[in-house]
């Protein structure tokens, strides 16, 4: 059995989170976005009740068959009252090379989210995104100030 664990995140923009999930390789058509949190399912399709006896529910869901490897559970992100999102990652998946401590998928998601959020904030402030540049092994976002 593979229980879910809730992992708090600093994600607070659902649009940027969905874009970041696409950036790390998920097909947009396989990312469900729900206004009302929806039931998560385990690797055989059963509704889960690990964190809430009424059912584990999330607002952004990638169903297990689209997570990317066999025996995966649904991956979900739940909107919290403070506006942040919590990630539902199962015990099995958190030990995998994809979402676990040894895997780099969650780190890639965090980086992609930060980039998306930065681009959105910069655009609101009047900057035009020009592209990315790698300097000394670090990715730098380049912008043009169009406010003048």
Reported as a single tens digit per residue, the pLDDT across 9-39 is: 889 999 999 999 999 999 999 999 999 999 9
Cα dist from 42 to 51, 58, 97, 105, 115, whole Å: 13, 13, 18, 20, 31
Percentage above 70 pLDDT, the chain: 88
Reported as a single tens digit per residue, the pLDDT across 117-132 is: 999 999 999 999 999 9
Global confidence as pTM: 0.87
pLDDT of residue 119: 95
CA distance 106 to 126: 30
46: tokens are 């059963």
Which sequence spans correspond to the domains of the chain?
A: 4-105
Render the chain in DSSP notation, one character per residue: ---EEEEE-S---HHHHHHHHHHTT--GGGEEEEEEEEE-B-TTSPBP-SS-TT--EEEEEE-HHHHSSTTPPPEEEEE-TTS-EEEEEEHHHHTSTTTSTT-SHHHHHHHHHHHHHHHHHHHHTTEEEEEEEEETTEEEEEEEE---
Reported as a single tens digit per residue, the pLDDT across 37-53 is: 999 998 888 998 888 89
**60 has a pLDDT exceeding 80:** yes
17: tokens are 């989170």
pLDDT of residue 18: 98
**136 has a pLDDT exceeding 50:** yes
Cα dist from 101 to 52, 97, 110, whole Å: 24, 8, 13
Please list the residues that pair with 78 across neighbouring strands: 86
In the predicted model, what is the mean pLDDT of residues 88-101?
A: 66
CA distance 90 to 44: 13
pLDDT of residue 101: 44
């Amino acid at each position: 059995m593979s229980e879910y664990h809730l992992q708090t995140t600093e994600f607070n923009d659902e649009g940027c989170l969905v874009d970041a999930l696409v950036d790390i390789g998920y097909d947009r058509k396989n990312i469900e976005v729900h206004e009302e949190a929806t039931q998560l399912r385990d690797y055989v399709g059963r509704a889960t009740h690990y964190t809430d006896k009424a059912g584990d529910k999330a607002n952004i869901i990638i169903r297990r068959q689209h997570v990317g490897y066999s025996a995966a559970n649904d991956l979900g992100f739940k909107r919290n009252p403070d506006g942040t999102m919590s990630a539902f990652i199962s015990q099995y998946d958190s030990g995998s090379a994809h979402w676990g401590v040894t895997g780099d998928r969650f780190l890639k998601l965090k980086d992609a989210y930060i980039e998306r959020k930065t681009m959105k904030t910069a655009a609101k402030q009047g900057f035009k995104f020009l592209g990315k540049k790698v300097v000394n092994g670090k990715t730098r976002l380049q912008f043009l100030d169009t406010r003048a």
